[in-house]
Structure formats: structure tokens, C-alpha cells
Amino acid sequence: MDEFPNPEDEYELMYAEELEVLREIEEAEAKKSTTQSTPQSEINQQIQDQKSQTVTTGKNVTIDSQQGSTQLTQQGLTNNHNGTKDPVVKNLFGTRSNGLQSSTVVNGSSCNASTSFDPVVKNLFGTKSNGLQSTTVVNGSSSNASTSFDNSKKRSINQIECDIPSTSKGTIDLDSDIYGSHDRKKPRWDQPEEVMKLILERRNNLHRKESKNGGSTSRKKKVNSITKRVPMHNFVAVTRYTDGERFYVKVCDRSMQSIKVDRSKSKNLFKSFSQLKEEAENILEKNREKALLKPLVSARKENSSSQLWVDKYKPTRYLELLSDESVNRSLLYWLKLWDKVVFDKDTIMRPNKPAPVTKFKNKFKKEDLVPDLDKNGFPTQRIALLTGPPGLGKTTLAHISARHAGYSIVELNASDDRGPEAFREALLSSTQMKAVIDEEKRPNCLVLDEIDGAPAASIELLLKFIHGKLAPKGKKDKVVKNNLGCKRPIICICNDLYAPSLRPLRQMALVLNVPEISSSNLVERLSEIARKEGLNINGRLLLELVHKSGCDIRACLGILQYTGGRSNMLKDLTLGLKETRKGLFDCWKELMRIPTDRRGSLPDSERAKKVMTIVHQGESERLAQGIFHNYPNNCRTKLSTVSKSLDWFEYYDIMNRAVMEHQSWMLMPYTNFAFIAWHLGLASPQMPKISFPSTTFEVNQKIERNQAVLSLIKKKSKLDKNALVTEVLPYLPDLLCPQLRSVNAQLYSNKEKEELRRLVDTMLDFGLTFTQIKKPEGGYQYYLDPNIWDIGVFPQCNSHKSLSHAVKQIVIQELEVTRLQRAAIASGEPTNQNPSAQKSIESRLKSGASKSGSASQASQSSDNVPSHLRTLNPVQIEPVAEKKCRNFFRAFQQAGQEKLKAKQAKEKELGIVSSKKISMAEQEKQNLKDKMQLFRTDITYIFKEGYSNAVRRTVLMKDLLKK
Amino acid sequence: MSLWVDKYRPKDLSKLDYHKDQAQRLKNMVQQGDFPHLLVYGPSGAGKKTRIMCLLKELYGNGVDRLRMDTMTFESASKRKFDISTISSNYHIEVNPSDAGIYDRTVVMDLVKTTAQTHQIDPTGQKEFKVVLLTNVDELTKDAQHALRRTMEKYVGTCRLILSTNSTSRVLPAIRSRCLGIRVPAPTIEEIKTILTKVAKKEGHDLPNELAERIATTSERNLRRALLMLETCRVEQIPYTPDQKVTEPDWQLYIKGIAALMVKEQSPSKLLELRSRFYELLTHRIPSDLIFKGMLQEINKKCDLQLKIQVANLAAEYEHRMHQGSKEIFHLEAFAAKFMSLYKKFMDASMADFM
């Protein structure tokens, strides 16, 4: 990773001078120590044995080895240690012999081992003869360690713990605790249950510690860091001068504090031992006092500061998270999977052993969501989506996990502009760049909060971006494969997983459902906060609060803060929270059911109150619909009460109309009283069966469709709607079914022809036609379009006939012809007048009888002549052909005319004066000549059935119909 | 127009078949050259529209026959746009403002204003006013009717209104007083019979007297319906026979079915069946007051006198409320439930007496 310079080099550069000084002093120390070595080491040994009562050295070694593998080995610090180890530990032992608080010193030394280049610590050990280490010094040294790690961007478990800024109180104890926990943390990702158990245990310890406020006992554990066997982790080897026995001091790090502070403090470490001890004791005393004072101080602060408790008591470390451990771990694991891409560090893969996996699945179903890496080293799911109801700490979880995994967080939430453009900008800037002004140069992790509110376009953009399909602006990455997509983890947070805009994201993302936290945990945390804030509130009340809010941490804290924990306030509090999540169905059920308690059904006043709270949520329109829809199936009351309740529906309707018509919203609240009446009248003691009121919707759709049909017909017939519905349309289906045989139209008798004509005319008057619709079982059927049957005909009433399929086909044919004729008439053709058009149909219907030379007739009569005998008689077609030819060869004519014109122009040029009339006459003559020439040539025009591109011209209908 | 109703519709005031003296009066009025706003009322199928068209023809000549359909777009106060289809000639415009529902006020105001504000360019040989024909005025909301009051007076110089309605009961008195009321009563059975015979004769059929009588009675003195029935009979069977089946419209049979259901059994679960039937009627766009009317007529046939009064009262009450509200189904069902509970109580009481 070029972004992060080699820690070793950097370190040496930074501390070159100090290193030199260090070395000099060490040499001096070495000389000194040789003189007193033997007795000291023996004492040391004894002390050490005493201190490591709880944990045996052997155990230590194994555990350490585990840790070491992941910890600091890659840092290359050991080389540096090698140069310094002997004298340092020597000194340390020397200190012990002076009879000091050994645990503290050991702790200090262990820290020192990792950070031994630091002049401060250097100095400290330089004065080992004075030998006292105060807690602050330990702190200082450890902070050094952590800063150095920060620079190197390596994250061991220890360091992660340290990363999270701890509260000032009880730092050492907590650290030591955590340290201890990781000592034992042999089971890693492959044994999640154990890890979880451990974490939970630690968490409990943490709470206990905090409440205890003391904790000097825990210090003893620090002896663990010195072992006799070679540990697997980072260590500093120490040889005792007397017997040559080697000890191994573990290298570890501690919480952070700024280096400068340490320096200033360490400056005056060259003091006598007694002085230092006194100081240290003073400091310890002060710390203790501070810890005692704390609740009081914060309680005082609370009044003045406007900070919300929610923010104030936000978890700051991974261990403090309240949310479900499995979810926390899944998210963290997912984040760690990015290590390969982001930090170029091998991720700790979960071993693919089948046994643990199955075990795992049994216990934690959610865990099997956790993905592995794909071939490019990316996690298979490149985005994590946290979902869950509000107030469970999703945002907090995302923030803390990301920090824990070594990222700095860029948050984008609903308050930011999330239009596609702004979104793109934010995405690119946050994932392809990094903060340079910031002290700690962490890579970014994008947290998209409240993503369910983002526009769909933005989410599409996000998906594109993740897969590298978004064309990047600016310079490209140096990595060989350019378009691997986003190289930073993105965590999305939403409340509603099933928001339509999230659909594409849902498929791509690692969906982690944050479940409700256990109420006992929450109560515990709340009571702790209450104690800190100086509230006097009992657990029962808190439990009630937690239940009321539905385990919403945010809501609980908010209520606690603003009610000040007064019990009466809490009782009056009607939290709308739980109710708002109630679905429509639950509301309907509640409205349709008589509520009961132990003594039987509630009094009416209670019921009315309940109803009002339900109705006040809004959606009263839907609620009313639901009641109306569902009451007949559920109510067991008398008809008279039903009718009374229905009167209330009328009332509701009238009120609603008044509201909508005059926009007088002040009437709106009065509609709610109807719900009480319905509830009292229609509710039944049984659990009601509720179905969704879909009929209203269906009916509305039908009405709309029929309305459209009506307005279509009205447009054609120009009749009033009411008259249409009540009088014309009921009879129209019958009128449209004359008795017609399903034979060829030519075979119809005159009477039938008359019927057909009438039918066609009527249909045209009303703008009706038959359309062919494919039936689901196959085959086609003709339906009236617009379908007046929908309006005019009712089920189980008069029987209505329908035309047969064949007849319908004839009707359609006839309909088209008539329509074209009418269109021709309407377009104002002078040749075709109304009666003649009608005549033409009749004449056409008398197919065989009428014979004329018109083309249309010819085609009609062709039924009688076998098609292979059909030829065009040149003599017969001549008049028609003349017409056609003239039109067809108009181009030629025009060419001829142009020629003529050109001739005339020439003549004009030549100065021959000719009158217009003459030229016109000439032109006509010319035309005729051309025509005659055309006919004289042996052009025959054979009509070939089928489609051809060769000859095309527009033929008007009137040409065909004209006699 | 090929339906007999349209085919034999008189086009001239002098050719009207009945109420001839009224036709004569109208003719006289038009010949005077001017007339006030008209309010034409009468049951449907009595010939209101025919009369109005004849009047317009008398007024403007043949140009009135050239009708065209237009769609006008209006915008309500709440910026909601909607379309209304109009039928118009050069001289008049016909609108059914109740198509716009609760926005009819906008239609009335805008339409009358736009029509009235344009003067005839060439007044010579033509009337100097146009005619706005508003149909179904009784379905207008109160607001719209109030809006009409002022415009009627203001634009009387350039525009005459002809309002057509079934009943004046829902027309504001203020409007009534501004119009000349013309009542078009339904034709008598005899008049219908003669018209039917005449039409049949013109079509070349012989209509038996009994059939004519039956058609006339079944049509409830609605001439349009009678003619449609006659034509339907012709489609079914020709030549006419005296005992031929005369079909009632489906929706009436359907309402009869509903009434029978209500009388047959009274229970909340029956309401569900009734509801689906009401929905059926409503989706077929049958006007809900006709549903009420049909139900009442049928129920009355099956009730005691005492009950009849109560039911009639109820029906009136519920129908009134229905016009105040907007969701017909609530009111129909409420009426059904009310009637059923009443009927049940009545039956139980009479049964108790009987026992």
C-alpha cells in the first residue's frame, strides 16, 4: 500500500535522534547492572511467581502465541528491540529489587518493550534505581505504542481496543481487562460462539468494573506478560545475568494519549523514588476522587448543556454496543474482509472446515449470510445493508464497527442532497480520496444513512458505482485492474428494507437485520445512565418504559431526559410509537372486536377512547372502507343496530363530502365519531376475519371503464347519458341481434339484406364495431367494441341472443364498406350522394344479378368464374385501363408536358409570339397524342394476385365503388 | 339515424304529435323574435329535448341540425383539469354540467361567460343571442345553481339559457323565477299508441292494438322507451302478434330482484348479497335515485298500507341524504338495512298478533 509508508522506515526517520540517545543510555545501564545482578534476579523470579497466580506461565505461552501471530510480528519492530532488550529488562528487575509495586512496573516494561525507542520511556528506565512508575507513565508509554501503530495502520486486536477512545475514568483497569480478554481470546473467527461468549463476558465485566469504580486487583494480571517460554507473539527476550535464564516480555500497546503530554510529564522523572511514589499516589488518589465525583458533575452539567442524552451516552467502543452480538460480528467480519483491498493485508479467513460451519448454522442462522472473498479479493457482497426499526442503534453500530476496523467515516444521510448528481459527487469524493488534513490517515468508509428515502436513480448510481460501471472522472487508480469497482466498504442503513427503490440494492447487498435488543439489556443501560445523571428511577418503571417504546433506545433516552424520570409523567405518556407500527389489519381487527379484560368487556367509555386513539393515526378513509367491507361477515348483532351503524356511514359520507367540497377541514374531526358508533354497533366478541376492501377499488375501476364506454357512445349518438343507460342501452343488445343466417351474404334474402343494412347503420350510429379477441382457451371471438353489454345487460335477467361468429364476420365486412362510404360522403365528394351510396351496397349485395364493367363489380362477380380462367379482356378493360393508365403514367405525362414547356420556352426565346390559348390547345393535343401512343403500344396489364413492389399507386375507395 | 326513435323524431314544431297547443304557443313565442330563459321540465321520454330542438330550428333555421361534438377543458379552483364534452351548432351549445361532478360550478360559470361574451358578428338575418342548453339541471350542485343566478341576468343580452330537467324540485326557486317554465308532460297511453301505430305503419308493419297497449303501459308512458320496445319486438318477431313478449329493461328486473330479496329474508349476512347487487347496478351507471325509486315501487307492492307510508318516508330520507353525500353504496345499503329491520319488526309484531 503506497498510501501508507512503511512503518519501519517512518519510525526510524522520526526517532533517529532519540534512538541514538537511547542506545547510549542503555550501554551505561548495562555497566551498572552487572554489579548487582544475581540477587535481584532471584527476587524477581519470586515476585513474578507470586504475580502470576491466576494464570500459569504455560498457558500464557500458548495464548500469547495465538495473539502474536496476528499481532505485531509484521511490524519489524523486533529488530530494534533486540538491541535494547537486555539492559532494559535488567533495569526492570533492578527496580523490583528496590521493592516497588511490581505489577505496575512490569506493565510499564511490557509497554516499553514495544516502544522502547521513545526517549520518555527510555528515561524512565534510565532512572530505574529510583525505580517508581506512576500510572500516568504507563499510560504514556502505551499511548506511544498506539500512535506508532496508527501510523503503520496495522490493527491488532489490542490496538483496536485502544483505538476506541476510552473514557478517562479507570483507563488502566479497563485496559488491563481488555488485555486479559485478548490473552484468552484464542478462539477466533472459527469459533464465533466462544468469541461471543467472551465478548459478552467482557462486557459484563466492564459494567461491573464501572460500577465498582475501583479495580486495583486486576492489575495483577499484568504479570502475564513475562513468560519463561518463547512466546509466539512479539516479545523482548531478557537474559538473567545470574543463571542465564531467559525471560520473554510481551510487547503490547495501550490506549491512546498524545505524546506531548507524556513528554512533558516524563521530563521530571529524574526524581527520587520517594518523590515519584508520592506523586503517583497523589495521582491515583485524584483519579479515585474524580471517579467518585463524576455522577454529580455530570448531573450538574445536564441542566446546562443542551446535549441529548442519546448523543451523550452513545456507545464509543465496540464493547459498549447494545445491539445483537451476531449482527455486530457479521458487520465487523464483513468490514474485515475489505482488509485485502483497502490495507493490502491478508484477511483472517474463516476456515472452511465443515464441522464448525454446520454447528454455526445451527446456532446463528444469520451468520451464513456472511460472505467470503471473490477472486479479486473483494468481498462477494460489496455493500452492507443494515435494516431494522428505528432507535436500535444501527447508525451507531455502523460507525463504531467502521472505526473499529480502522476506517474513518463519511456519512451521508437524508439531510444531505441525494439527487443523482450530488450523490455521485459524494460517492466519488468519499471513496476515491482520503482526508489529508486529518491527523490519522485512515481510509474512508461511506455510511449511507436512511437510504430508503433516497431516490431510485441515486441507488442505481450507487450499484453501478460498486461494480465499477460508473465512468470515473479524473485520474485512474494505479491498480492493474482498473474497474473492479468501489474499493472502500459502503454501509447502507434503512428502516424499510422493502422500499421499492431498494429492490436492486437488496439483491446485491449483505442484508443484516438488526433485531430488537433485549429489554433487560436496555433496562440495565438505562438505569446506568439514570444513575450517572442522578435520576432516581426504579427498574420497574424503566422496564415499563422500555416495553412502551418497543425497545427503542433513542425514544427511551429522550423520554428519560425530558421527563426527568418522574413516574407520574411516565404514566401519562401515551407513546404513539408502538401504535404507529400497527398495520391497517390490526386496526380493523381492533375496531371490529369487543375488547375484553379479566372482568369481561370494557365499559363503553373505555372502548370509545380506544377507538379514538386508533382513528387518530389517520387513514380514516381506509379504516372506514375496511369496516364497511368486513362487517357483514363478522357482526352478530341485530339488524336494527346494523341499520343504525349504517346511518353513521351516511353521516360519515355526508361529512366527508362537505369537507372535500368546501375544503372545510375543521369538519374532519367529527367524522371520527362515526368510528365509535361503528365499533359499538358492529364489533363482535370473536376474533374477526378481516379481508382487504378490494371491492371498492374494483367497483371504481369498473365504473371508470363503463364511464369511458358511455362517453364514447355519447360522442357518436349525441344522446344524454341517463337516457342511454336507462333506455337505449338495455334494448340495444337485442336490436343488434337480428335473425340472420350464417351463410354467405350473397345468399341473403331481401329481407335479410334489409336487416343487415339496418344493423350496420345502427352500429355506425353508436360507433360500435366488432373486435376480434383471442380467447384464453384458444380461438377467436368477436366482441362489441365499445362493449355495451357491460352496461345494458345484467346477470340473471332477460336472456339475450348473440349473433353467430360467421354473421359477425359478414357484419364487420359490411360495416367497413359502409364506413368508408360514409367517410367519402363526409369528405364532401360531389359524385357520391347519399342515396347512390346506399344503392351501391344493395346493388353489390345482389351480386350475381348485376353486371357492369366496373372493377369492383368484376372482383365481386369473380366468385362465379374459376380463378384460373380469369384473364383481363383487353377490349373490355380499355375504358378502365385508360383511366388507370393515365394515372399510372402520370409521370410520363408530366415529363411530356415539361418537354412541351421547354419547347414553348424555346419558341419564346426564338421570338415566336403565340397566344396562351393556342399553347393550351397544343398542350391538350399533345396529351391526347401521348395517350394514344401509349395505347397503341402492346402493353398489357395483367393483374397478379399478391403483393409486389413493382407497381404501387394509391387507389381511392370511391374509384372502386364508382360505377 | 337508423333507430326508430331517431328516425321518426319530429324536426319541426308543427309536426309534433301531441301537446299541439303548447307547440303552437312556442312557435308564436319564437316568431315574436325573442324569448326569456326557459326551464323545460317533464319526465324522461316525454319529448323535452325534441321540443327544444324544434324550437331552436324554428329560431335559427336548418343550421341547427349541423351538430358537432367538442371537448372543452376546464380548470377547477383547485387547479384540477377536467374535460366536458359538448354538442354544439353555430347557434347553440349543449352541455350536461353534472358530468363534472362537484366541479360543475366552474363549468357553468366559464361556459356561460365564454359563450355570452362573444357577440354575433353579423346580426342581420340572425338572432343576436346564442342559446346555451343545460341538461340535467336538477343534478347541479347548489353552488353551481347559485353561480347560475347572476350570470343569467348579466348576460341576458347575448345569451339565452334553456334548462332541461326532470323535476323542478331540486332547482333553486331563484332560478325557477328567472325562467319561463315549460312543462312537458308525458304522453298519455292513447297518444303513445297512436304514435306507435303510425311508426309501425311507416315501417310497413301492422301493429295489433293489444300489443300497442301493452307496450305503452310497460314503457311507463315513456315514448322513447316505447319506441325502442317496439323496435325490439320487431327484431324478435315479425309480423307483430298481440301476445308477443314485451321486454322490460334488464336493470328494472334487477332492481325488482333486489326488492324481492329484501322482503324474503332479513339478516346482516343478506346485506352482503344485496351489496354486491347494488354494486352491480352502480357499475352499470344506473342513476341511484332510479334505484331508490325502483326499490320503493317494488316494495310497496308487497307491504301493508301502514308500512308503505313508513317505507316511503324512509326512502325519501335516505335518497335525500344520498344526494348530500357522495358514496351511493353507503346510502343504498343503509336504506336496505333500515327497511329490513323495519319489515322484520313489523312481521314479528303481526306474527305475535296472529299467535
Per-residue pLDDT, A919: 64
Cell for B93? 351549445
Cβ atoms of B76 and B106 within 8 Å: the answer is yes
Please indicate if any CB of chain B lies within 8 Å of the CB of A689.
no
Span A429-488, pLDDT tens digits: 777 766 566 556 778 888 888 887 778 888 888 888 777 765 554 444 433 345 566 778
Peptide bond into B239 cis (omega under 30): yes
Per-residue pLDDT, A483: 58
Per-residue pLDDT, A586: 80
Whole-Å CA distances, A186 to A159, A333, B199: 16, 17, 107
What stretches of A721-804 show up as alpha helix (H) in DSSP? 721-723, 729-735, 750-765, 789-792
Binning pLDDT at 50, 70 and 90, where does residue B289 land?
confident
- φ, ψ of residue B319 in degrees (nearest 5): -70, -40
Sign of the torsion angle spanned by Cα atoms B172, B175, B180, B186: negative
| DSSP string for residues in A922-949 | HHHHHHHHHHHHHHHS-------SS--S
CB contact under 8 A, B341 and A661: no
Exposed/middle/buried for residue B205 (C-beta within 10 Å: 0-12, 13-18, 19+) = middle
Per-residue pLDDT, A156: 45
User: What's the rounded Cα separation, in Å, for the pair A364 and A327?
Assistant: 10
Per-residue pLDDT, A854: 42
Please indicate if any CB of chain B lies within 8 Å of the CB of A710.
yes
B chain contacts of residue A707, beta-carbon cutoff 8 Å: 285
| DSSP string for residues in A786-833 | S-THHHH--TTSS------HHHHHHHHHHHHHHHHHHHHHHTT-SS--
Which residue in chain B is spatially nearest to A758 when comparing CA positions?
B2
Nearest to A418 by CA among A485, A332, A362, A492: A492
Mean pLDDT of the region A411-423: 77
Residue type, A267: K
Span A893-937, pLDDT tens digits: 666 666 667 666 665 555 544 455 556 777 777 777 766 666 666
- φ, ψ of residue A242 in degrees (nearest 5): -65, -55
Please indicate if any CB of chain A lies within 8 Å of the CB of B7.
no
Mean pLDDT estimate for chain B: 87
Span A310-328, pLDDT tens digits: 777 888 778 778 777 888 8
Binning pLDDT at 50, 70 and 90, where does residue B117 land?
confident
Quick one: what percent of chain A has pLDDT higher than 70?
A: 54
Interface of B with A in 242-261 (CB under 8 A): 247-251, 253-254, 257
CB contact under 8 A, A734 and B235: yes
Distance from CA of B72 to the nearest CA of A (A): 13
pTM greater than 0.80 (yes/no): no
Peptide bond into A786 cis (omega under 30): yes
Please indicate if any CB of chain A lies within 8 Å of the CB of B280.
yes
Q: Under DSSP, is residue A343 helix (H, G, I), strand (E, B) or coil?
A: coil
Angle in degrees, 0-180, between the axes of helices A620-634 and A584-591, rounded to the nearest 10: 50
Per-residue pLDDT, B193: 92
Cell for A227? 513468560
Q: Which residues contact B196 (CB under 8 A, 6 or more apart)?
A: B207, B212, B215, B216, B226, B227, B230
Greatest alpha-carbon span in chain A? 148
Q: Which residues contact A751 (CB under 8 A, 6 or more apart)?
A: none
User: What's the rounded Cα separation, in Å, for the pair B8 and A951?
Assistant: 50
Q: Which of A153-167, A280-294, B259-273 has the lowest mean pLDDT?
A: A153-167
| DSSP string for residues in A445-487 | EEEETTGGGS-HHHHHHHHHHHTT-SPPPSPPPSSSSTTS---
Distance from CA of residue A350 to its chain's centroid?
28
Per-residue pLDDT, A19: 67
User: What's the rounded Cα separation, in Å, for the pair A460 and A427?
Assistant: 12
A304 pLDDT higher than 60: no
Please indicate if any CB of chain B lies within 8 Å of the CB of A654.
yes
Cβ atoms of A48 and A107 within 8 Å: the answer is no
Please indicate if any CB of chain A lies within 8 Å of the CB of B275.
yes
Q: Residue with C-alpha cell 516480555?
A: A249
Interface of A with B in 629-648 (CB under 8 A): 631-633, 635, 637-640, 642-643, 646-647
Q: Which of A23-32, A773-782, B8-17 has the lowest mean pLDDT?
A: A23-32
* HEC letters along A117-130: CCHHHHHHHHCCCC
CB contact under 8 A, A725 and B284: yes
In this predicted complex, what is the ipTM? 0.88
Please indicate if any CB of chain B lies within 8 Å of the CB of A798.
yes
Nearest to A142 by CA among A164, A99, A119, A113: A113
| DSSP string for residues in A356-377 | HHHHHHHH-GGGGG---B-TTS
From the list B78, B235, B257, the residue facing A735 with the nearest CB is: B235
Per-residue pLDDT, A176: 42
User: What's the rounded Cα separation, in Å, for the pair A19 and A192?
Assistant: 42
A169 pLDDT higher than 60: no
Q: Which of A645, A691, A794 to mutate to test the interface with B (most CBs of B within 10 A)?
A: A794
CB contact under 8 A, A720 and B49: yes
Which residue in chain A is spatially nearest to B67 when comparing CA positions?
A718
Span A373-413, pLDDT tens digits: 666 677 777 788 888 877 788 888 888 888 888 888 888 87
Q: Which of A652-661, A669-678, A739-748 has the lowest mean pLDDT?
A: A739-748
Order of strands across the sheet that contains B81-88: B68-75, B81-88, B92-95, B130-134, B159-165, B38-41, B180-183
Nearest to B235 by CA among A21, A843, A752: A752
Q: Report which of residues A5 and B35 the model is more confident about.
A: B35
User: What's the rounded Cα separation, in Å, for the pair B135 and B164?
Assistant: 5
Cβ atoms of A385 and A495 within 8 Å: the answer is no
Nearest to A399 by CA among A352, A432, A444: A444
B335 pLDDT higher than 90: yes
User: What's the rounded Cα separation, in Å, for the pair A457 and A446?
Assistant: 18
Please indicate if any CB of chain A lies within 8 Å of the CB of B274.
no
DSSP label at A602? P
A764 pLDDT higher than 90: no
B chain contacts of residue A659, beta-carbon cutoff 8 Å: none
Span A828-884, pLDDT tens digits: 654 444 444 444 444 444 444 434 444 444 444 445 556 666 655 555 444 444 444
Q: Which of A157-171, A716-730, B267-281, B292-306 has the lowest mean pLDDT?
A: A157-171
Mean pLDDT estimate for chain A: 67
Cβ atoms of B290 and B225 within 8 Å: the answer is no
Binning pLDDT at 50, 70 and 90, where does residue A420 land?
confident
User: What's the rounded Cα separation, in Å, for the pair B344 and B335?
Assistant: 14
Per-residue pLDDT, A372: 63
Mean pLDDT of the region A542-563: 78
Residue type, A50: Q
Per-residue pLDDT, A438: 58
Which residue in chain B is spatially nearest to A751 when comparing CA positions?
B238
Exposed/middle/buried for residue A358 (C-beta within 10 Å: 0-12, 13-18, 19+) = exposed
Please indicate if any CB of chain B lies within 8 Å of the CB of A682.
no
Span B131-186, pLDDT tens digits: 899 988 888 888 889 888 888 888 888 888 999 998 888 899 999 998 999 999 99
Q: Which of A540-554, A635-649, B115-129, B202-216 has the lowest mean pLDDT?
A: B115-129
Instruction: Tally Cβ neighbours within 10 Å of residue A211.
Output: 9
Span B58-91, pLDDT tens digits: 888 888 888 888 888 888 877 888 888 888 888 8
Exposed/middle/buried for residue A703 (C-beta within 10 Å: 0-12, 13-18, 19+) = middle
CB contact under 8 A, A699 and B222: no
Cβ atoms of A462 and A471 within 8 Å: the answer is no
From the list B2, B254, B321, the residue facing A794 with the nearest CB is: B254
- φ, ψ of residue B33 in degrees (nearest 5): 100, -15
Q: Which of A15-29, A597-611, B50-64 has the lowest mean pLDDT?
A: A15-29
Please indicate if any CB of chain A lies within 8 Å of the CB of B269.
yes
Per-residue pLDDT, A691: 86
Whole-Å CA distances, A35 to A40, A682, A744, B320, B338: 10, 101, 133, 118, 115
A635 pLDDT higher than 90: no
From the list B6, B85, B225, the residue facing A711 with the nearest CB is: B85
DSSP label at A317? S
